[in-house]
Structure 1
Amino acid sequence: MFDGPEGDGPGGGGSAPGASRDTRTTCPYCGVGCGVIATVTTDPATGQDRVSVRGDADHPANRGRLCSKGSALADTLVRDVDGGGRLLHPEIDGHRVTWERALAEVATRFADTIAQHGPDSVAFYVSGQLLTEDYYVANKLMKGFIGASNIDTNSRLCMASSVVGHKRGLGADAVPGSYADFETADLVVLVGSNLAWCHPVLNQRLRAAKAARGTRIIVVDPRRTDSVDGADAHLALAAGTDSVLFNGLLVHLHARGATDAVFVGRHTDGEEEALAAARADAPDLATVARRCKLSEAEVAAFYADFETTEKVVTVYSQGVNQSSQGTDTVNSILNVHFLTGRIGRPGMGPFSVTGQPNAMGGREVGGLANQLAAHMGFSAEDTNRLARFWNAPRVAAQPGLKAVDLFRAIERGRVKAVWIMATNPAVSMPDAGRVRRALALCPTVVVSDCIRDTDTGRFAHIRLPAAGWSEKDGTVTNSDRNISRQRAFCAPEGEARPDWWIITQVARRMGFADAFGFASPADVFREHAALSAFENDGRRAFDIGALAAVSDADFDTLAPFPWPWRAGGQPQERLFTDHRFFHEDRRARFIPVTTRPLPRSLPDGALLLNTGRLRDQWHTMTRTGLSARLSAHAPEPCLDLHPIDAAARGVADGGLARIVSTAGEALARVRVTDAQVPGTAFLPMHWTDAFTGSCVIGRLIDDDAVDALSGQPDLKRMPVTVLPYEPDWTAFWLSRQPVTPTHDGYWARRAVPGGHLIELAGRGPVPDLAPAGWDAASGTAINFSDAARGNRRTAWLRGDRLDACLFVAADGRLPGRAWLVGLLEGDGLADADRAALLAGRAPGARADEGRIVCSCFSVGINRLIAAIGDQSLTSAEAVGAALKAGTNCGSCVPEIKEVLRHAVQREMA
């Protein structure tokens, strides 16, 4: 397998010089839950630890594969090196304090707030980035001992609709199948899932199955994403009409007699009601085609393929969940699998793929405000059971505030103390402006994080340094219910501590020491496992009671396993093989679904804004943004528009656009592409105030449209107006140290080898930029200015090293960046380079890689095009053989094919 590039680890390895040690752990990115082997090698000359990563061939999720992000994990270890931004020590009001002082302050503030205003005046907002043990302790403290349910998670933004849909249909929040079903299915339908970018290793497994056994793939998505590459069909339906499509499929299957009457009769309820609702919503093929804006032939072909193929897996993700009718859409998918009995058997079933590494683990311990631990709810029986198990004085008796309502309650003063752990809601929540106003008003904001300067951390009264991925120990649960160990392989930076430890220490200081005697993650895991089996006669899906007494040694070596694993039994890879579900009568439920209109009115000329992930970035880039190679594929926030929409609004490919919604505004670079359906736009979710001055996605999305059942915000259908942004000047800034421009225009920063590159544009004065701490004694500044043309260039040198440079042009004509970045990375300037510096062009012929296409092997567009022409390459396989591009994670293969297509078109022209 590909071995990611090496990077200095945070130290604390303890190995003899020159020695290496391997640690099996789990990738911290998406819900695939890939196994990773981290190798730490101690340099004999410096004593520094160096880290490399590779896929774990023995892990059932990935079998050694890694995506571009996973391959670059060693690049993204957050360290306090060269301004790495690590939060190293506890702080109160920006001042360093001891752990004892910080813990006592958190405990006192929360206890005093509860004493004055009641338990519902405090809240936790947590994250799928936490380990299950962290989640468990936080949930126990809030729901068992504080006595409120105001603990919610950022999984509310991605998985809540799937949770409710599963509970309504299956009786439990449980994915029925396993990843192996991707490889045994004859038809896989991807609904609202860009598997190629968001879950690349699963996409590799699916494509391998297609190559080996001819698995057919149908993509249902308004956008033509890279997942469409090689698919058998793409249904580019209108946004928000997925439930129409699946209601129509339900009607079609029933009319054609393509039902499993025995399964439906013996194991389900509600068929007639669901069919009646579906017939009213999608009575015939013509209605479905019209409402979905598809041709009748497309719909008919899809329905026929689904009807005649027994082994069908329907994979869905955020395109379904992140909607104000997400829950109903989930149930419309479950309904067709119930009608045909395609569940509980290999190669078939509905399959929800999660966005975060431990979204499911958090739900196992009650991380959402509307659930209790171990898949229990708020019935009197469940709350009594939990109170007895925990010996808890005041178990919460009713659900708490879900994410959107939680931050509204903070703004209104109802919640007066909030503890935010491992997430950045000032960026990721809808109506991020409201979230920021709420946090600014809140009397007590506690933030636990690895990073000191986040958008949310800027509102913190108390900051607690949390251990990072390489420093944490515990478990996570992936999308197919596999529980894997995450193991630390580096010592914590500074005074960072694991989240479970931090919460435990606060709980003790609040007077709950007897219930929080945990001394290790294994202690927490054992209690979690014991609770899952407590008075569980098989009616609760989640049960890992077989491990309730696992020893420390066995916990250390625990191999990945799927739940449930009941005492005396074996881990269960597939659920519902006996057709017994988790409702009280053990029958599945058909749910009537009616498609609702768009939650927001669409003014004349407005576009529907869709948001989502990029191939090489993760969440708010606090990790992936540190990697130069991960930042090179999509270096700026980019608004995708169809050519018709771009032309109608006077915006050009590569230009800048102003995006306006009822919630706020943004500026972004424009990419014109026919991958978009006319009338829609796409903007990635990753940029924050640390990486741009003008494109925080949460500021564009209002929080008015949420799913009434799940509380999940609608993040895919925000009306926006798009206008051209015409700057007076454009510029770029290149420096070893980061700077933050303060002008009102556009800027976007990314990591490059040796430093940082910022693209800028604006109106009025150019911002006054200079290297941090620069004065006349620091070095030499050389200048070129052409006032008549509005151009100027400045370079700052320290000795013979380039420290920074600024290039400004009124006409938009700026030199390429690649050669200058190379100078920044180098140790010193040659005389010829120094002389050519302000020209921005290399003194001799030098290759320019161009925009990176393959992040795994740093293959740029210019090298790719040259190789295709020089070597007459005609296929992605030939490109891989020549350049290695596309041979590791495969995520760039669709783009390589696109470049090949353009090359053929140029030859034929």
Structure 2
Amino acid sequence: MTTTPTPTPPNHACQDDRLLQTTCPYCGVGCGVDVIQRGGMQGQLSQLTGSPEHPANYGRLCIKGTHLLETLDKHKRLTQPLVFGQVATWDTATKEIAGRLTQIIEQHGPDAIGLYGSGQLLTEDYYVANKLMKGFIGTANIDTNSRLCMSSAVVAYKRAFGEDIVPCNYDDLEHTDLLILIGSNAAWTHPVLYQRIERAKLRNPAMKVVIIDPRRTDSNTLADLHIALRPGSDSALFCGLLNFLADNNALDNPFIEASTNGFDDALKAASSWSLEAVSEACDVPQDYLNTLYNWFVELPRVISFFSMGINQSTTGVDKGNAIINCHLASGKIGREGCGPFSITGQPNAMGGREVGGLSTMLAAHMDIEDPEHHQTVSTFWQAPNLITKPGLKAVDMFQAAADGKLKCLWIMATNPVASMPNRALVEKALTHCELVIVSETAAKNDTLRFADIVLPATGWSEKNGTVTNSERRISRQRGLLAPIGEAKHDWQIISMVARAMGFEDAFNYHHPQQIFNEHCALTSANNNGARALDLGPLATLTIAEYDALRPQQWPLESAHRIGRERLFANGEYYTKDGKARFIAITPQKPEQKTCTQYPYILNTGRVRDQWHTMTRTGNASRLLKHIDRPWLSIHPDDAKRKGISDGSLVALHAACSGDIKVILPAKLDDRQRKGELFAPFHWSATWGSHCKVGALLNGANDALSGQPELKHGAVSATPFDAATLGVLFGESALIDVIKTSCYYWLDTTSGSISCTQIADIVPPMQLLNNVVPLLPHNTQWYTFQCANQCSLVATQKGKVVLSIMLNASSLSIPTDWLESMFNSDDALTQAQINSLLHQQPDEAFMLGKIVCSCFSVREKTITTAIEQGTNSVSGLGTALKCGTNCGSCKTELASLLSANHKASTLPKPNNDDTSANTPVTEETLL
């Protein structure tokens, strides 16, 4: 299945064509998606675009969403249940699970069972899982990978407002005077929102954009000011801002008096944070801080847009509250363009929060240890074993399994071996656990090899239910295709197990509409305005109304089901006394500290075109064109000191990584602060032998939220002295046999044809001699060798099936050139074979990395156009088409323009950073 590069629907639709509408399964923006199905209900999904009327994206899609159809590879899907490695029927698998769970409960109690879910579950899946665990099995040990994403923001909001409420909406981003992006590279992580911000700045050039981030990222193309602070020092910066507000008569005293509590204590805690103290703690020049603080004071509308750089910390909750304190103190909350706005990474993290899908929640924004809430849920569910205490958070859950306290772990729609910190501990936990159940779509990931029972689940295009995005907007994710093989929806799987355990009446669901209605009814039970989450007006939807449900934002107005855009306009909150709470903050340093043995700070994060552990995006070859491998960003001065060159391999180690070796290619990057490193987390053991980045982070987490510190590891970095570097290219089955004989390997493509980077400690000829016995007997092969280089090309009937290129020094071979050889219908000429043997790509392919994935436009093509006089993003689009489809590459185009024109407009800040790039104008961005 393919998608076209253009978002424009066809002018002449076939009479039987159908327009299907659903929601993107990636980030928390929650974009609406239109899909054309050719030839009626059983036809092929042939075209995908953004939904023009969806209020989250208004037709825009990022590169990942644009190429969703290319990820639907049925050959990489689980299609049948497996019980202890044997294919089984659903009846057999269900009875096995139910029997073993019952036995564990009888022998060890319900707290010996844990369920680890995902922000990619639909709300209906989440609801049924939470109900089974907390109401009927009787344990709160249900947590999800959302714990890694936004749980610190949840606790911060709850401490301040009395309920887990994001007060802002996306329109606020377009109607603010000062937008502060804190720990967010939105240009890559939330591109559709970033494009809305771009347009807002075009409409209002006076709007200020500030980036608070240790790194300079693509989001800086929009920045008026970049605060390149010391990692982990955000609390000090915002305590300093609170102190500055008080010292400069910028407090909203009437609002503080009427609508808040705790201000005096919060200000007292912040009073020592002078401009000088903040400058020293954050390693930021005072004039930069002074500029930011004065803008916050002077500009009437401010949005603080914070993400993983705040949340993924051992003090993420305090950081969130330090931000919220400043909005409360200045009264910049509850109005258009104002407020603290946490942006979520997961597609349905907020839907999971609504139903109580974390171990510290009950359900429907009700609290586990509140007697009234407990009675409400117990009565509503008729739950025989409703929990009375919180359960294990994610890191603690895996620790308990490693310690033998957790006997069963059910993992659902996530890949924790790759995504959790402290991989060594997670592997130990799953090895020691008596029963590991995995519900999954992908046939291959890092976690599946630990599973005793594997259950095939439906994925995007088959799942049918609802999700809630980061602005509290519920949307339908509709099923477009029938489930593949014997795959079932997660809510169906959970319900089948529940019924087999004897809970028939409570889990007798036949359609997700029944679950949604029950969830909505629970949110309104004994509510009476006490909780903002009240979906009662939607609790009586028919199946037809549910299927037709349009995007719906809560809180709801009962009479007309109209959602409220933003909260707290009336100065009333969801605390016991109706007042918001200031929290006194004492800034703390990160827990994972550097030392002589581990001197570098490691930051981890996302790349533009990939998602989580790549079980979906890794199926789309186009999404691997922009960045096809993990890397280690290192400042050139640090690299020079360590003898590391650009592209060379670097070995990383941490105190917690044990025997797990992490080796990544270096990228010299002066956008890094000195002494700090960055690596993306998407790649895993499924993709390479030494790219298990999660092993380098020890699982230290926030004491209040349990969210792990994923932005501040402590590592060593040394050159990996490889005697041989190389590339394997050919049929995937053949590559899979050969690559494991190499010390280091990394897949950089997916599909039936694979490209794999390799390295070894033995010289090229010796490695080639080791590989030759693995070649199929029916191949004809050619070799070439010289002093430090050797190659092999194997053919069958004149068609190349394998190419091996080995070199004692650096080796950079364009994948597209190799693909052109393998995709040719004609037999290879001797000249082509010689070019492979001599490792000499055609000149047309030596144009650098692909920047625009939609139209395969390369970096050197773009820079050449810039050098020849093209001086705007729109001009590049006209000349080369780059940036004219999904728009995800526009910030990188702007960065290339900036680099070539040397158009930085701000003074050079601390630590060799630069702050601003090309000034934003209509020409640069449209």
Contact 2:792 2:837 in 1 (8 A): no
Counterpart of 2:60 in structure 1 is: 65
1:900 aligns with 2:897: yes
Paired residues of 1:321 and 1:327 also in contact (CA < 8 A): yes
1:586 matched residue in structure 2 = 578
Deviation at 1:839, TM superposition (A): 3.4
Match of 2:680 among 681, 684, 698: 684
Residue 873 of structure 2 corresponds to residue 876 of structure 1: yes
CA–CA separation in structure 2 for the residues paired with 1:881 and 1:114 = 65
Return the match for 2:569 from 571, 574, 577. 577
Three-state SS of the structure 2 residue aligned to 1:184 is coil
Instruction: Supply the distance in 2 between the matched residues of 1:669 and 1:485 (Cα, whole angstroms).
Output: 41
Whole-Å separation in 1 of the counterparts to 2:841 and 2:252? 73
Deviation at 1:663, TM superposition (A): 1.6
Task: Give the Å deviation of 1:411.
Answer: 0.8
TM-score by length of 1: 0.94
Which residue of the partner structure matches residue 838 of structure 1? 836
Contact kept, 8 Å, 1:366 with 1:374, in 2: the verdict is: yes
Q: 1:695-717, CA deviations, whole angstroms, 9 ceiling, x for partnerless residues?
A: 111111112x2111101111111
- CA shift for structure 1 position 837: 5.1
What is residue 922 of structure 2 aligned with on the other side? none
Aligned-residue offset at 1:50: 4.3
- Per-residue deviation, 1:903: 4.4
CA contact (8 A) 2:417 2:446 kept: yes
- Which residue of structure 2 lines up, in the alignment, with residue 748 of structure 1? 746
Task: Give yes or no for contact 2:784–2:837 (8 Å, CA) kept in 1.
Answer: no
Change (3 A) 1:649 1:95: same
Match of 2:315 among 308, 325, 348: 325
Map 1:452-463 → 2, pairs under 5 A: 452-463=443-454
Structure 1 match to 2:694: 698
Offset of residue 474 of structure 1? 0.2
Give the SS at the match of 1:776.
coil
For the 8 Å contact 2:784–2:838, the answer to whether it is kept is no
Identify if the C-alpha distance between structure 1 residues 900 and 5 changes in structure 2 by more than 3 Å, giving closer, same or farther. closer
Aligned to 1:313: 303
For structure 2, list consecutive stretches of 5 or more residues without a partner in the other structure. Answer: 8-12, 904-926
Per the alignment, do residues 176 and 17 of structure 1 end up closer, same or farther by CA in structure 2, a change over 3 Å counting? closer
CA displacement 1:251-288 (0-9 Å, x = unmatched): 110111111111110110000000011113x1x11111
| Contact 1:694–1:747 (CA under 8 A) maintained in structure 2 | yes
Quick check: 1:352 aligned with 2:352? no
Q: Residue by residue, what CA displacement relative to the aligned partner does 1:212-244 show, whole Å, maximum 9, x if unpaired?
A: 112210011111011111211000011111110
2:107 equivalent to 1:116:
yes
Normalised to the residue count of structure 2, the TM-score between the two structures is 0.92
SS at match of 1:526: helix
Seen in structure 2, the aligned counterparts of structure 1 residues 715 and 744 have a Cα distance that, compared at 3 Å, is farther
Structure 1 counterpart of 2:359, one-letter code: A
Question: Counterparts of 1:848 and 1:724 in 2: how far apart (Å)?
Answer: 27
Pair 31,833 (structure 1): closer, same or farther in 2 beyond 3 Å: farther
Q: How does 1:635-646 map to 2 (within 5 A)?
A: 635-646=628-639
Classify 1:846/1:270 alpha carbon distance in 2 versus 1 (closer, same or farther; 3 Å). Answer: closer
Mean CA deviation greater in 503-512 or 827-836: 827-836
Partner residue in 1 for 2:923: none
Structure 1 residue matching 2:174: 3-state secondary structure: helix
For residues 118 and 753 of structure 1, what CA distance do their matches in structure 2 show?
45
Shift of 1:3: 6.6
**Judging changes above 3 Å, is the alpha-carbon distance between structure 1 residues 234 and 902 closer, same or farther for their aligned structure 2 residues?**
closer
User: In the aligned structure 2, how far is the partner of 1:292 from the partner of 1:423?
Assistant: 36
2:325 matched residue in structure 1: 335
Question: Counterpart of 2:25?
Answer: 28
Corresponding residue for residue 801 of structure 2: 803
Per-residue CA deviations over 1:560-592 (Å, capped at 9, x if unaligned) read 011122533532121112111011111000000
Question: What is the letter of the counterpart of residue 456 of structure 1?
Answer: T
- Percent identity of the aligned residues? 43
Secondary structure of 2:714's partner?
strand
Residue of structure 1 in register with 2:232 after alignment: 240
2:924 aligned residue: none
**Any residues of structure 2 matched to 1:628-639 within 5 Å, and which?**
628-639=621-632
| Cα distance in 1, alignment partners of residues 256 and 421 from structure 2 | 40
Residue pair 2:814, 2:841 contacting (<8 A) in 1 also: no
Match of 1:525 among 516, 520, 523: 516
Partner of 1:297: 287
Distance 1:772 1:386 in 2: 65
- The correspondence of residues 174-323 of structure 1 with structure 2, limited to 5 A, is 174-214=165-205, 215-280=207-272, 282=273, 284-323=274-313
- Which amino acid is the alignment partner of residue 60 of structure 2? R
- 3-state DSSP class of the match of 1:377? coil
Q: Which residue of 2 aligns with 1:471?
A: 462
- Deviation string for 1:588-647 (max 9, x for gaps)? 000000001231332137111001000111000111111222112111111001112111
Which one of 486, 498, 506 corresponds to residue 507 of structure 1? 498
Q: What SS does structure 1 have at the residue aligned with 2:794?
A: strand
Q: 2-side partners of 1:562 and 1:723: how far apart?
A: 51
| Cα distance in structure 2, aligned partners of 1:404 and 1:679 | 28
The 2-side partners of 1:905 and 1:392 are apart by: 66
Report the Cα distance in structure 1 between the residues aligned to 2:812 and 2:563, rounded to whole angstroms.
Answer: 60
The offset of 1:473, in angstroms, is 0.4
Query: Which residue is 2:641 aligned to?
Result: 648
Deviation of the 1:51 alpha carbon: 3.0
Alpha-carbon distance change, 501 to 402 in structure 1, aligned in 2, over 3 angstroms: same
**Structure 1 442/3 Cα, relative in aligned 2: closer, same or farther at 3 Å?**
closer
Aligned-pair CA distance for 1:736: 3.0
- The amino acid of 2:316's aligned partner reads G
Match of 1:53 in 2: 48
Structure 1 residue aligned with 2:670: 674
For residues 609 and 881 of structure 1, do their structure 2 counterparts lie closer, same or farther at Cα, with a shift above 3 Å needed? same
| SS of equivalent to 1:751 | coil
Residue type of the alignment partner of 1:401: L
Q: Aligned residue for 1:98?
A: 89
Note closer, same or farther for the CA distance 1:723–1:104 as it changes in structure 2 (3 Å cut).
same
- Structure 1 residue 856, shift from structure 2 partner: 2.2
Aligned equivalent of 1:364: 354
**Letter of the aligned partner of 1:387 in structure 2?**
S
The C-alpha deviation readout for 1:830-887, integer Å capped at 9, x for no partner, is: 5356543533568976455531111122211233234334x53222221111111122
> 2: distance between equivalents of 1:750 and 1:886?
24
Question: Is 1:625 aligned to residue 640 of structure 2?
Answer: no
Matched-pair contact (CA < 8 Å) for 2:464–2:512: yes
- Contact 2:35/2:45, CA 8 A, preserved across alignment: no
Shift of 1:896: 2.1
Q: CA deviation at 1:792?
A: 2.5
Q: Aligned partners of 1:497 and 1:813: how far apart in 2?
A: 46
Deviation at 1:380, TM superposition (A): 1.7
1:142–1:412 CA distance, 2 compared to 1 (3 A): same
Q: For 1:287-336, what per-residue CA distance to the aligned partner results, in whole angstroms no more than 9, with x for missing partners?
A: 11111101110111110000001110100000000000000000000001
Q: Which residue of 1 aligns with 2:781?
A: 782
Contact 2:537 2:556 in 1 (8 A): yes
d(CA) in 2 for partners of 1:394 and 1:877?
61
| Residues 110-148 of structure 1, C-alpha deviations (whole Å, 9 max, x = no match) | 111111110001010000010000000000000000011
Alpha-carbon contact 2:472-2:553 (below 8 Å) kept: yes
CA RMSD of aligned residues (A): 2.3
Q: Aligned pair in 2 of structure 1 residues 815, 142: CA closer, same or farther (>3 Å)?
A: closer
Contact 2:473 2:551 in 1 (8 A): yes
> Is 1:612 the counterpart of 2:612 in the alignment?
no
SS in 2 for 1:53: strand
Measured after TM superposition, the shift of residue 751 of structure 1 is: 1.9
The Cα of 1:774 is off from its aligned counterpart by 6.1
Q: 2:854 matched to 1:856?
A: yes
